[in-house]
Amino acid sequence: MGLPGVKEFVRPETLDQALELLRQHGERAWLIGGGIDLVLFAPQDAEVVVDLGRLPLCYVKEEAGRFAIGATTPLREVLEDRSLEGYMVGVVPQMLHQVASPLLRNLATMGGTLVSANPWSDVITLFLALGAQVVLSDGKAQTIPLENLYPARAHRGTILTEVYLPAPAAGSAAGFWKFGRTAFDVALLNAACLVRMAGGRCVEARLVLGGRPGLGTRVPLAEKVLVGSDLGDATIDRAAEVARESADVRDDRRASGDWRRELARVGVKKVLHEARGRLPGGER
């Protein structure tokens, strides 16, 4: 039996109904998008499964360059959404092609992915670099930066309904890199960046490393090397070296911390070169 402790499976039609179920059942209620992590990790205290699949939250919308993705949108639908190919030179589908398998992408939802906070998550690493924001609702909607979502447990009692990718600022570009044993396996390390140039100088840099094995987190010392620079080869090499030295990496059963430290250097170099190559003509 998948989850013998589950006593009830409910599928609310509206956000209000879902919130009411959360209030009613408290800690015994588990929200699911695709439900993958619930089945995989089978928490003992899950008694009431609240499937959000019938809420009207399955969409990808663009408005003035900004994208809104509904929480129950399967990763496959995000991947196949043609309009996202025009966002930051298609960095979102580039990343999603590397997430798990098509079978899992058909099931996994955007909201579930963000809330599950699996530390190797490619989605979270890239979305942190892009400056994504999430909308949480406890009846009243509140928009917060994705980095403030974690630890997600702190937001119990609310439902994540939407994630925003901000409209790209002029002169900005992004890159993403994943290193895993196979196309299907989770990342041993992943890296993402967003850089913004103005008048030949880097005015903003967001550099994120994930699967360290901890959740995606920014690398401020390496970002500092980039801001104010011309983003030349020497600067990129120096930022990669600083990332190697300062990255918060550890051993786990998949890879050693030393190996990850070297991957951090390579990953940072790769994503910065990729982003630089994608800058609009005048800033390249």
Partner 1 sequence: MRITLAVNGTRRTFDAHPGETLLELLRREGYVGVKKGCGSGDCGACTVLLDGRAVNSCLVLAGKADGSDVLTIEGLSQGGALHPLQEAFLDEGAVQCGYCTPGMILAALDLLTHHPDPSEEEVREGISGNLCRCTGYTKELRAILVAAAKMREARHG
List residues binding partner 1 (CB under 8 A): 1-9, 11, 32, 34-36, 38-40, 49, 51, 53, 74, 76, 80, 97, 100-104, 106-107, 183-184
Nearest CB to partner 1, comparing residues 101 and 153: 101
What gap in Å lies between CA 21 and CA 120, rounded to an integer? Answer: 31
Radius of gyration of the chain (CA): 19
Residue 138 half-sphere exposure toward CB, CA atoms < 13 A:
6
Minimal distance, residue 150 CB to partner 1, in Å: 24
Q: Whose Cβ is closer to partner 1: residue 109's or residue 229's?
A: 109
Q: Which runs of E-coded beta strand occur in 83-216?
A: 133-137, 141-145, 159-165, 172-179, 189-198, 201-210
Provide, rounded to whole angstroms, the least separation between the CB of residue 108 and partner 1. Answer: 9
Q: Which is nearer to partner 1, 156 or 184 (CB)?
A: 184
Residue 34 or 171 with smaller CB distance to partner 1:
34
Nearer to partner 1, 80 or 262 (CB): 80
Give the three-class secondary structure for 50.
strand
Shortest CB 220 distance to partner 1, Å? 35
HSE, side-chain direction, 13 A CA sphere, residue 156: 9
- As a whole number of angstroms, the distance between CA 213 and CA 34 comes to 24
Q: What angle do CA 140, 19, 14 make, to 5 degrees?
A: 90
Q: How does 69-81 read in b/e, with b if 16+ C-beta sit within 10 Å? A: bbbbbbbbbbbeb
Q: How far is the CB of 91 from partner 1 (least distance, A)?
A: 18
Q: How far is the CB of 86 from partner 1 (least distance, A)?
A: 20
Q: Which is nearer to partner 1, 9 or 143 (CB)?
A: 9
Secondary structure (3-state) at 142: strand
Question: What single-letter DSSP state applies at residue 109?
Answer: B
Question: What's the closest the beta carbon of residue 51 comes to partner 1, in angstroms?
Answer: 6
* Between 39 and 170, CB nearer to partner 1: 39
DSSP string of 234-265, one letter each residue: HHHHHHHHHHHHH------SS--HHHHHHHHH
Nearer CB in complex with partner 1: 110/202? 110
Token output for 54: 């019938």
Asked if residues 152 and 117 have their Cβ atoms less than 8 Å apart, the reply is: yes
